[in-house]
Each structure stands twice: as C-alpha cells, then as structure tokens.
Copies of this chain bind each other. A is one copy, B any other.
C-alpha cells in the first residue's frame, strides 16, 4: 500500500490543476481514493458555488487514482469518458470526492465517484460521477 500511495502522490503532485485548486489526495485502500478541497472564489461559478467543472475535476481525479491504484506500476490511466449528475449546490467548508473502482479490467476500468459538501459534521451529496478509465503503456510516455 505504501508503494502505491507514494506512486499516486507523486503523480498527483504533477497534476497542475489539483495544485491550482489546492486539492489533497488520500489513498483509502486498494481502488479507494479521496480528494479534498476547500471552496474559494478561485474555483467558483457565477453564483458563488464551486464550479461544476471544478467538482468534475475532483471527481475525475479521484476516479482516475482509484483506477491507477489497481494498475501495475509503469502503466498509466487516461479518462475516456465520464458522466456526472449535479444534485445540490457545491458549497461548504470542504468538498470531498470519494471514488471506488466498480470493475477493473485489462484495458478498461469503471469507477464511480461521489462528491460531498462537508459543513461541520454534516455531509451532503452534491454530485455523482461514473467514469471509464483506459490503461495505457508506452504511449506518449504515459506512466502513472
């Protein structure tokens, strides 16, 4: 698990967008990842909520790293598609995206991510994503 965690953290640190958003990643278990972010005007939409694109970025990264945690080292994953439903405005002290692998495969991995708005001890589901990740090797130098 520690090898996997450091591999994921190394890759995550190279995701410029996650750095820009101030997001942090936590490997919860094999195929299970959490990403946290604190809402700020820098990632808002016009009504002051976190932008749906930012919510999607969190969920997509979480789903991708959940998939990557199950893929042999040296291979990378790319998102081929995702679908996201928005259920409530993304406002709160924190947003947390929780992803899990639904089904891994040789080529394709299906993952789901839920994004919650956290206020004090309360959590509210704000978005639900289903994503397909493709495992790639030696393509355009893509690893991890």
Contacts and interface: CB of A to CB of B under 8 A. Distances in A.
A107 B110 contact: no
A140 B90 CA distance: 13
A138 B56 CA distance: 26
Contacts of A84: 81-83
A17 B51 contact: yes
Chain A interface SS verdict (over half)? mixed
The oligomer's copy count stands at 4
Interface residues of A, number: 53
Minimum-distance CB pairs A-B, first 3: A53-B57, A16-B44, A17-B51
Interface of A: 11-12, 14-20, 40-47, 51-54, 56-58, 60-61, 76, 78-87, 89, 102-103, 107-108, 110, 112, 125, 128, 130, 132, 134, 140-142, 144
